[in-house]
Structure 1
């Protein structure tokens, strides 16, 4: 059958017009959301760098540090779903701005902790303040992009993780070295103060910049708003989990939570213990350790983009989660077996970072493909909050094991096992028809 050339030209014109609209939307929101994620992740894990000095200054043990690093995720867990439901009800502009400003203030207050109880309380409150942030941003993307366009947006947003590592390591090391003794405070205190300030500024920018709904986007023409709303309405008819009760009763949602739990075990083992692993090879300078953490995260950023492109080209997701997750597990096993070798430790950390950071955006293509409406708000938050309990388990257990054995090896083996289990669950129980789209 011959296709009329005018029909082909008209179809191409419509596609190009739609591409232009969504490109404009992406440039409007993505740079700001990416900056927010970079700062949020940096404020969440900079305690891993502060540890290099503060444990000695405050006479805290490795077990205290591990428990404190994990306390963040207890508050995060209990308030994640309510936070995302409030975002859906009150609007992203107000709620994300509130999240950023309150967590920045609390993170700054960590500079003045003096006892383990102060430390635990502030980390717990920080978790409450930040609850709903990342799933809230994922939910926000569903308000503007249909699923066939959202994968790239999630991948770009997820780049905030390695970018925070690339920028945060050298920045944290420099702050701790350059500010030591200023105003009678330690370098780790200035670290918490200075790295919190961008969160307050970005919170104000979010309040001024974001729009809660397509209908509020006066910077788009009426025709463009109608086009975007039509695409979103059509996609909404295909989603199967549209209510909170459906989400909590879904075996698929709980399976995804378990899979993400194992991946997050590795993510926070990397975030909270990477400076310690590098220091264990004989490198003592916080500034040099900070610069060395750039290596795994730079490789991870490149790997994430290449794996994301491969997944889109092949319209395949399952193996693009399984293979990177197993690659990360091998990286942690290598770190556990190389003793004091800086080269092999960095190789293992690089493998772990590439695998974990590449697997995460591939994973998030799963729940957003079948969750819609208020169900998306609850489902994304439930998966994220339950899985992020690994952020409590990982540093707490690794810290306890290190305190008992004097080495990180047993904890790294545990993390490698968790990642392997997640890879198996994806391979065995996630249907290809859900993933390959």
Structure 2
């Protein structure tokens, strides 16, 4: 048998499903841990708010502005960060991101001390630290999406993306009680408040994970020493096969109206998500619950149900290959849940049930919609385009954190902002359905052509 025949026969013997399962378990756990602490660092500021406002002597509006400053830095550097990642390699760049953001996040515990040292107000130093945190973390999530696109064709990305995005409900399901417990039990240790210890303890693991990323990931398929040559060829063939319908150049991507619709989808759904995650502890406290540990436990309940909803929806979307209604229906449910949670805000059990529906809807659509960018873009266009889309999504962090805070300042009722967040989620569903269904059929067609090509190679290379 000649070399070509050996290659073809070897590729033919590979169980593709087992190979992708092997790939999933090699990459996804590391990305999951990174995303878990990334999101925990991003939203634990909502718990810190319960204690830091009094210590730093800042109000709700100043807190909302500070929370949103993270996204100013994030948006400003996101596109250049993702382009650098594409050129120098995901392993090095993601490790750098995690190292710097972990240091800044933990350092936020010293906001008052740093403000005194530099001779500025506490609020000003809070804004600066949040801005720096956003600058350090810029490009992290779109970088992970780009990295997934290097290894998986778009029709297989829902499963790996859902595994990655399990970090969102997990960070809140366990992070809520953990943050509440830390704040309750560490208060006064060495003269620091509970919120200060909580930020430090939950920020430092990112520094350790930077080393896991650097030594545990490979930049691309060809660099993976844990894959055979035949496995590498099969994986590369599947990724390359679907690129023919994608945009390579950023300028072309900017002229594709579907890219802008996807940006709108990410913006609207994430506005509802960030609004919910930032303000949920305050919403629960406004309902009459005062103990921080109990608040943490109650905020975890919606995300228990949301986790199950996200897993099921991602599984069913991957099984059926349908990616429009699997995003639109959860968006409509999420919007309705938020609106009803505001209507029944005075009834804690009913409000929690509504928040369970809202969280399930928002997280249910998340792994599906984040496969959309890789369905449209490839190469440099993917690096810049995904970052651009995520930048629009990051504007939602400003909108989501500001809407509730501003409306509360104007009306005196935090639940009026929840109505607005629910309406924004309803818009997400409309935008999803405005994308032609054929957009998502191409990935499956490309995979089928790749399978046919592989079979043809085996027949051609096999001996007579």
- TM exceeding 0.5: yes
Structure 1 or 2, whichever has the larger Rg, is 2
Q: Residue in 2 aligned with 1:375?
A: 381
CA contact (8 A) 1:71 1:392 kept: yes
Summarize the alignment of residues 29-428 of structure 1 with structure 2, pairs less than 5 Å apart: 29-114=27-112, 115-236=122-243, 238-427=244-433
Q: How far, CA to CA, are the matches of 1:16 and 1:356 in structure 2?
A: 37
Q: Residue in 2 aligned with 1:3?
A: none
What SS class does the counterpart of residue 242 from structure 1 fall into? coil
Report the alpha carbon displacement of residue 16 of structure 1 after superposing the two structures with TM: 5.3
Report the alpha carbon displacement of residue 250 of structure 1 after superposing the two structures with TM: 2.4
Q: Residue in 2 aligned with 1:435?
A: 440
TM norm structure 1: 0.94
Q: Deviations over 1:85-125 (max 9, x none)?
A: 11000001100000001111111111111311111111111
Report the alpha carbon displacement of residue 434 of structure 1 after superposing the two structures with TM: 1.6
Report the alpha carbon displacement of residue 15 of structure 1 after superposing the two structures with TM: 7.3
CA contact (8 A) 1:278 1:345 kept: no
Report the alpha carbon displacement of residue 333 of structure 1 after superposing the two structures with TM: 0.9
Q: How far, CA to CA, are the matches of 1:118 and 1:82 in structure 2?
A: 26
TM norm structure 2: 0.89
Q: Residue in 2 aligned with 1:6?
A: none
CA contact (8 A) 1:274 1:349 kept: no
Q: Deviations over 1:132-183 (max 9, x none)?
A: 1111111101111122322211111111111111111111011101100000
Unaligned runs of 5+ in 2: 1-7, 113-121, 445-464
CA contact (8 A) 1:42 1:164 kept: yes
CA contact (8 A) 1:334 1:344 kept: no
Report the alpha carbon displacement of residue 57 of structure 1 after superposing the two structures with TM: 1.9
What SS class does the counterpart of residue 204 from structure 2 fall into? helix
CA contact (8 A) 2:158 2:317 kept: no
Q: How far, CA to CA, are the matches of 2:430 and 2:291 in structure 1?
A: 40
Report the alpha carbon displacement of residue 239 of structure 1 after superposing the two structures with TM: 3.1
Report the alpha carbon displacement of residue 425 of structure 1 after superposing the two structures with TM: 1.8
Q: Residue in 2 aligned with 1:27?
A: 25
What SS class does the counterpart of residue 151 from structure 2 fall into? coil
Report the alpha carbon displacement of residue 47 of structure 1 after superposing the two structures with TM: 0.3
Distance 1:434 1:186, change over 3 A: same
Q: How far, CA to CA, are the matches of 1:187 and 1:78 in structure 2?
A: 32
What SS class does the counterpart of residue 388 from structure 1 fall into? helix
Q: How far, CA to CA, are the matches of 1:15 and 1:348 in structure 2?
A: 50
Aligned residues: 426
Q: How far, CA to CA, are the matches of 1:366 and 1:14 in structure 2?
A: 30
Q: Deviations over 1:395-436 (max 9, x none)?
A: 123211111211112211111111111211222x21111235
CA contact (8 A) 1:88 1:374 kept: yes
Report the alpha carbon displacement of residue 235 of structure 1 after superposing the two structures with TM: 2.4
CA contact (8 A) 2:155 2:318 kept: no
Q: How far, CA to CA, are the matches of 1:276 and 1:409 in structure 2?
A: 10
